[in-house]
Amino acid sequence: MISSIQIRGYRGFEDFEMGGLERINLLVGTNNSGKTSVLEALYLLTSRGAPWALWQVLSRRGERLLERDPNNIPEMDVCHLFRGHDLHMGAKFVLAATNQTPERHLTFTIGEMSEDHTSKTTVREGVQLASRLGLHVKGVPAPAVAVIPLTRAGGVTADSLDLPRRVRVRSFDQETPSQFITTESLSGNELVGLWDRVALTSNEERVLLALQFLEPGIERIAAQAASPNYYAAQRGGFIIRMQGHERPVPIGSMGDGMWRMMAMAIAIAQCKGGVLLVDEIDTGLHYTVMAKMWRLIYGAAKELDVQVFATTHSYDCIKSLAELCYTETDARENVTLQRIEVGNPKAIPYTEDEIEIAAEKNIEVR
């Protein structure tokens, strides 16, 4: 389990540290303080800098190069990963974590590619790759890919990342499995892809329980047969059986909160022994169900040995976490709140006792 993380030169962080981490970690702070950047850093670390993780980090923020290729092939601009959005020879950022096992760290550096690597870089799908620059990745354990070619504009494409093939062989048996749920949640394609590891197991019961928190009349949930057109919808791919309804109901008809709860329940089942990252965990959820949400997350995290990192702007979410500390005796030693402040090189940790006091006295900790 990760006990601390250090970030240097990544996005808005010059030199930042967050320590005292526990089983459940809730990150708070003002807009643009860096909460999401911390989740991204953890995602890159636990995925060993894998190309699909790098692509997701860039694409979810819409960091596309404005100078598009004539063929309109998406090209992501890696300069935004570096402090000051400055891409130059020698630019780098460093991510490191300490835990109960040897330290884990990654360094991403802009540098020249070897002649051997450059000779293998050609024009692909109409995109001219750079002749010499690449994003070099070093670290412990060894990164998934040592060097990623950059285009002449300083970007990366799905092809330059060899993404289509790598996505197909993406392994959930990585050393530290992780799932990153963004504010937009997971897509229908992503959740259907994860469902096979949940269906007909005890985790399926956990997903059903999560949905029943929001709608007690739900009796069953099922993924639909493959249909590319259907799955193109953000909320497609699943149907539920409701009490009093003869026909199944698409889960997308039940609102954003239902989809959000299902995504968290499915995703945490994929993270046994690893990390679950959730940006704005309370998105779409009414304050009356947040306490149940935290009990679900905490129970699954204990059972599956998952460490959870989540962000929020909601005081109700913090109060509900305090309620978990009230009702679950062992939660008091496994929960922390971390406040991130712009310009502060260290996060401010709040223990479970301090979270409870803040909730009781309505002390502002966000």
Low-confidence ranges of the chain (pLDDT < 70): 67-73, 100-101, 115-131, 160, 162-176, 225-234, 356-366
Q: What is the pLDDT of residue 97?
A: 93
For the chain, domain boundaries: 20-47+271-366, 48-168, 190-255
pLDDT tens-place string over residues 112-138: 987 655 545 444 444 455 558 899 999
Q: Are strands 2-8 and 15-18 parallel, antiparallel or unpaired?
A: antiparallel
- Helices marked H in the chain: 35-46, 51-59, 115-119, 163-168, 188-195, 202-214, 228-231, 256-269, 290-304, 315-327, 352-360
Which amino acid is it at 326?
A: Y
Count the residues in the chain: 366
What are the φ and ψ backbone dihedral angles of 109, each rounded to 5 degrees?
-135, 140
Q: Which residues of 332-351 are buried (b: 16+ CB within 10 A; e: fewer)?
A: eebbbbbbbeeeeeebebbb
Q: HSE on the CB side for 32, CA within 13 Å?
A: 1
Residue type, 191: L
What is the pLDDT at residue 254? 85
Strand, helix or coil for residue 158: coil
Record the tokens describing residue 96, joined without a space: 């490191």
CATH topology of domain 20-47+271-366: Rossmann fold (3.40.50)
The SS3 assignment for 57 reads helix
- pLDDT tens track for 262-312: 999 999 988 989 999 999 999 888 888 899 999 999 999 999 999 999 999
Q: Give the residue among 328, 357, 84, 329 at the shortest CA–CA distance from 337.
A: 357
Can you list the pairs that 150-155 forms with residues at least 24 positions away whose Cβ atoms lie under 8 Å?
Answer: 150/78, 150/110, 151/65, 151/75, 151/127, 152/128, 153/65, 153/67, 153/75, 153/77, 154/65, 154/77, 154/78, 154/79, 154/87, 154/130, 155/65, 155/75, 155/76, 155/77, 155/78
DSSP character string of 183-233: TT---HHHHHHHHTTTTTSHHHHHHHHHHHHH-TTEEEEEEPPP-HHHHTS
